Amino acid sequence: MSIQHHAPDELGHDYLEIRGLTVDFDGFKAVDGVDLTLLQGRLHFLIGPNGAGKTTLVDAVTGLVAGTGLARYRNQDLLGMRSHRIVRAGIGRTFQTATVFEELTVLQNLDIAGGIHRRAWAMALARRGVPAYVEQALEAIGLQDLRDRPAGVLAHGQKQWLEIGMLLVQDAKVMLLDEPVAGMSAEEREETGELLRRIGYERTIVVIEHDMEFVRRFADVVTVMHAGTVLAEGSVSEIQADPRVQEVYLGRQLDAVADDEGAAEVEAQVQAEVEATVEEGGRRA
């Protein structure tokens, strides 16, 4: 059931290691002792019902809320660091609602994100050029032709891509994306998945998502959170077959029917309902 935790150094891969992460809001533990190993080169999905603690986990790792435990990346514990230093350490995130500056152009948005490289960028602008890493980001997100348009005119999906572009410009090695495909068309989702695959090869990417179709299509590893804890981890088919995951999504105890003759049948039915429920959650979000 649980995925194999390779010793990441042996593979020569980067990784973000989270151990015993806890976020306590006045006695309510929104994140409660979470262990996660997030390896470079794998698309890691974080799913779970509303209120499971997914966003709070990302908030803790990016310094927006205080957490205890360990969140180590390249020998630095992120939990003790201020957000701007966490960004400089190579950790980037997006939010559930897009945060691009609508009045500014695509290029200007990337400029702001590139603030941590400010000096190089300003020098390049003085030469009336655009730095190579900004060009590369524009190309990766496919918005070259829209570079001088205000971000406000972009389609919903394109704004999310711009946000991902902003993380590329920041040179984020770890990207924590909070429901990036919510509200996207099927086509936009597909393009986003392809984009994440392309850039994910040399990065550690974590995607929070409700839409099981998207998860099924692109996830290498899925972690299911519930009530602040990790409930299950594995491949898509493993977590879908896990009765504990099914219980959480349906709020019913399979134990109660475990001895019944029709248990297997009920279980199959429950699994179909789980998928429908999860997909509905995605549309609501």
Ligand X SMILES: Nc1ncnc2c1ncn2[C@@H]1O[C@H](COP(=O)(O)OP(=O)(O)OP(=O)(O)O)[C@@H](O)[C@H]1O
Q: Minimum distance from CB of 53 to ligand X (Å)?
A: 4
* 142 to 161: interface string for ligand X, x by CB under 6 A: --------------------
Footprint of Mg ion (CB under 5 A): 55
Closer Cβ to ligand X, 40 or 94, answer by number: 94
226 is a contact residue toward ligand X (CB under 6 A): no
Closer Cβ to ligand X, 111 or 209, answer by number: 209
Beta bridge partners of 38: 16
b/e map 188-219, b = 16+ CB within 10 Å: bbebbbebbeebbeebbbbbbbbbbebbeebb
| Start-to-end C-alpha separation, the chain | 28
- Indicate which single residue of 53, 63, 114, 180 sits in contact with ligand X (rule: CB under 6 A): 53
**Residue 52 partner contact from Mg ion, ligand X, none using kind-dependent CB cut-offs of 5 to 8 Å:** ligand X
48 is a contact residue toward ligand X (CB under 6 A): yes
Closer Cβ to ligand X, 24 or 267, answer by number: 24
Contacts of 197 (CB under 8 A, 6+ apart): 43, 218
Q: Which range of residues in 22-30, 128-136, 194-202, 238-246 is near ligand X by CB under 6 A?
A: 22-30
CA distance 54 to 228: 8
283 is a contact residue toward ligand X (CB under 6 A): no
Instruction: Give the angle 238-278-236 at the CA atoms, nearest 5°.
Output: 20
Residue closest to 49 by CA, chosen among 219, 265, 212: 212
Binding site for ligand X (CB under 6 A): 25, 28, 30, 48, 50-56
